[in-house]
Amino acid sequence: MRCSQRALDLEASATLALAARVKALRAEGKDVLGFSAGEPDLAPPLAAVAAVRQAIEEGKHGYEPVPGTPEAREAIAAFHRKGGIDCSADDIVLTAGGKMALFLVLQALLEPGRGDEVVILTPAWVSYKPMIELCGGKVVEVPCTFEDGFRPDPEAVAAAVTPNTAAVMLNSPGNPTGVAFPDDVVERIAAAVAAHPHAMLISDEIYATLRYGNASHCSPAALPGMKDRVITLHGLSKIAAVTGWRLGWVVAPMLTERGETLAKILTRIQGQSLSHTSSLVMPAVAAVLGGEADEDLENMRLRFADRAARMHQHLSRIDGIKCIQPEGAFYCFPDVGDCFGKVTPTGKVLTDVTAFCEALLEEALVAVVPGAPFGPGGERCVRMSFACGEETIDAGCERLATFVSGLQDSV
């Protein structure tokens, strides 16, 4: 058969590929300690489970409105209004997870062959680039560095915006770095986008409520004059530990050139593709966002905060590894570049971060994600998820320390 070139060129997700490899090794009986999956190990809020169970018992097995039930969309709108975003239920499109939310938006914004560009701040989630390219856009990367705390330079972002820019992507707190951007940085990036009437700001806020310490969060759509310039993405997958339920959404109140909201456009695209996310899980949205799950959500956040500090403390004690304190999400993104060029006890030369990760998995049975697939700025780093048990964090970091201490200089 003949496939499209864009399908043939599409690479598998680096994070999902590694997770599959870890599962295969465990199936062989290997005691692999995995830090690759961006998936909470904690139980979902009881209210969410009860809502889904009730939906099953009540026989909610049929079609629902394409953008989601009115109850779910109103709960989402109320949640974002509390965060300062002026929106209504009509501005919300509920879909099958945050990934589908972004895909719908890119389908609406990008015209293949027109030269549309999307600016992303790297290191960035591995799916941003292939999704943009799959939808016919060109990626423009603005690197952030370890030395700058992986915080973007607003002037560099402004310089990357051109007449071809369809959107700028913002993700804070971010995957893979765990860094939350300061409010003034978000404000300056929003101002840079606002200066170009043709460009939109896409704010991926999937980890927004998972913040630790003094980390703040600024929703750019809540800034003065930005309501019609910011498309907000969010969901329950990460914050409520329901990654498999596929519950994400878009807040899109802005009017298009035809005088209808972007939410209406996204609804049509979804109606001709996905139809809608599962009717059985939609009731969980109101249960989680309406207050019933607040205590469970806060306990989960506190648990992740403790794990963030725990992993950072372990990593900071390892000679040859540097680590920034995570401020949100559930990732550490340590710099292991000082190990490059060294040799493992079995004779493997650690030429780069991929070689480091492969040797760590083979010789220490510890799975971490190489930073290179996350884009410029990640070449010396590895992503380690602390969405796992405390015992795993302790044991895995001990294995990592032993592995690094056993490296020898090449001759």
Q: Which tens digit of pLDDT belongs to each residue from 227-243?
A: 999 999 999 999 999 99
Q: Which domain holds residue 107?
A: 47-289
List the CATH number of the domain containing 198: 3.40.640.10
Which amino acid would we find at residue 336? Answer: V
173 lies in the same domain as 228:
yes
pLDDT in tens, 43-68: 999 999 999 999 999 999 999 999 99
Mean pLDDT of 367-390: 96
112 lies in the same domain as 25:
no
pLDDT in tens, 303-350: 999 999 999 999 999 999 999 999 999 999 999 999 999 999 999 999
Reported as a pLDDT band with limits 50, 70 and 90, residue 122 is very high
Give pLDDT, residue 314: 98
Q: Indicate the number of domains in the chain.
A: 2
Give pLDDT, residue 83: 95
217: which DSSP letter? -
Mean pLDDT, the chain, rounded, equals 96
DSSP 39-99: ---SPPPHHHHHHHHHHHHTT--S---TT--HHHHHHHHHHHHHTT----GGGEEEESHHH
Residues contacting 62, CB < 8 A, separation 6+: 279
10 lies in the same domain as 148:
no
Give pLDDT, residue 281: 96
Give pLDDT, residue 158: 98
List the CATH number of the domain containing 330: 3.90.1150.10
Last residue of a domain, one of 268, 289, 310: 289
320 lies in the same domain as 244:
no
218 lies in the same domain as 76:
yes
Last residue of a domain, one of 289, 311, 338: 289
Domain-located, residue 409: no
3-state helix, strand, coil in the chain (%, to 5): 40, 15, 45
Q: Which of 175, 134, 169, 176 is nearest to 12 (CA)?
A: 134
38 lies in the same domain as 51:
no
> Per-residue pLDDT for 14 more than 80?
no
Domain-located, residue 408: no
Give pLDDT, residue 23: 85
Reported as a pLDDT band with limits 50, 70 and 90, residue 39 is confident
Reported as a pLDDT band with limits 50, 70 and 90, residue 25 is confident
298 lies in the same domain as 221:
no
Residues contacting 45, CB < 8 A, separation 6+: 240, 287, 288, 292, 293, 296, 297, 300
110 lies in the same domain as 171:
yes
Question: How far lies 359's CA from each of 15, 77, 353, 365, in Å?
Answer: 17, 47, 10, 9
Which amino acid would we find at residue 13? Answer: S
Cα atoms found within 13 Å of the Cα of residue 213, Cβ hemisphere only:
14
Beta bridge partners of 95: 248
Last residue of a domain, one of 264, 289, 314: 289
Reported as a pLDDT band with limits 50, 70 and 90, residue 15 is confident
